[in-house]
Structure 1
Amino acid sequence: MHLEMHDQHLVTDPRYLAWKEGRPQPETPGGKAFRETVSEAVARGVTIRRARIVSEPVSDYVRWEHSLTADHNIAAGELVRWLPRAFASALPLPGNPFWVFNRRLVRFSLFGGDGQVVGHQFTEDRAVVDLCVAAFEAVWDLAIDHEDYSPPAA
């Protein structure tokens, strides 16, 4: 389970910069490795779900993410849903985006104000894992499948 809650990050990604300039997006080693890892896990029977809470109208970064989700995330085997932030107001959510692995380990991603990753926190604390699983499931239940979500124009 992966819950994203930010409207921009990694804005120096060469693929994002190429997209903004209308140029072809270069393949990156990290992107290729990610798709291979996801594909291998899914082939072993692992279900990988990603939910994104987004502000509307969406940022350029989220518009870019949406444009590559089908060919990048979904093609690798991920299930992806989108939740407009207005529908998340009543949900109890952790303060940072996270991954939950096997319902036993959480990796929080820590971002600076400029959207760059500044670190990660890991925990197997049962209460924190349960909070993250419950938060993810609440978002997932409200969120819109990728193929049915069209980011509104600004």
Structure 2
Amino acid sequence: MTRLKVPDFNELLRSAEYSALHLEMRDSYAVGREVEQIAAWREAGYQREIDPESDYWKPWLDLIREVTSKGVAVRRARIYSEPASEYVRFEHSGTQAVVDAGEDVRWLPRSKASGLALPGNDFWLIDDKAVRFNLFTGEGGLADPQYTEDQEVISLCRTSFDQVWNLATPHDQITL
């Protein structure tokens, strides 16, 4: 795989002309800005604050609205273990906010993904032209991402995403 300089994520997403596909495959992430959100979610009886104007949500939701307003299909598929981890349940409880902003989200139990060839890392596939891999440490923290325009890697990511998407359940039809 040929690795290139990793572009700024927001610029990459804004560059999409017709599709931005995101595949998430971890059961837990330890991204710093979510630590307080998870604690508040626990304290609120596992109810998540999803005010689209909050400091937490506004930047992402504004970006999604901007991109989808150009006609770009933003789709996210999440593979998760059962029973769902606390983190996955936290993510599920806030997903309606991104759906309302224009993302289409589906969920696939890991047990249904056993026959699929999946890349080793979460990724964003932009217009079948570029892949940004999100890498994480063993503890779930962010590591340096990777970026490629290698057509074989793009083909693997597209095929993987499509297979997951076709097996997955739409967000509004699943309870975790």
Q: TM-score, normalised by structure 1?
A: 0.91
| Residue matched to 1:49 | 75
| Residue matched to 1:77 | 102
Query: How many matched pairs?
Result: 149
Which segments of structure 1 move beyond 4 Å, counting only runs of 4 or more?
23-26
| Residue matched to 1:120 | 145
RMSD over equivalenced CA pairs, Å: 1.6
Q: Is the 1:3–1:50 contact (alpha carbons within 8 Å) kept by the matching residues of 2?
A: yes
Q: Is the 2:31–2:142 contact (alpha carbons within 8 Å) kept by the matching residues of 1?
A: no
Q: How far, CA to CA, are the matches of 1:120 and 1:11 in structure 2?
A: 14
Q: Is the 1:11–1:61 contact (alpha carbons within 8 Å) kept by the matching residues of 2?
A: no
Deviations 1:107-151 (A, max 9, x none): 001111111111100000000011001000000000000011111
Matching of residue 65 in structure 1 with residue 85 in structure 2 = no
Q: How far, CA to CA, are the matches of 2:103 and 2:43 in structure 1?
A: 28
| Residue matched to 1:21 | 43
Q: Secondary structure at the match of 1:34?
A: helix
Instruction: Give me the identity figure in percent.
Output: 45
Deviates more, 1:18-27 or 1:60-69: 18-27
| Residue matched to 1:144 | 169
Q: TM-score, normalised by structure 2?
A: 0.80
The answer for unaligned runs of 5 or more in structure 2 is: 1-20
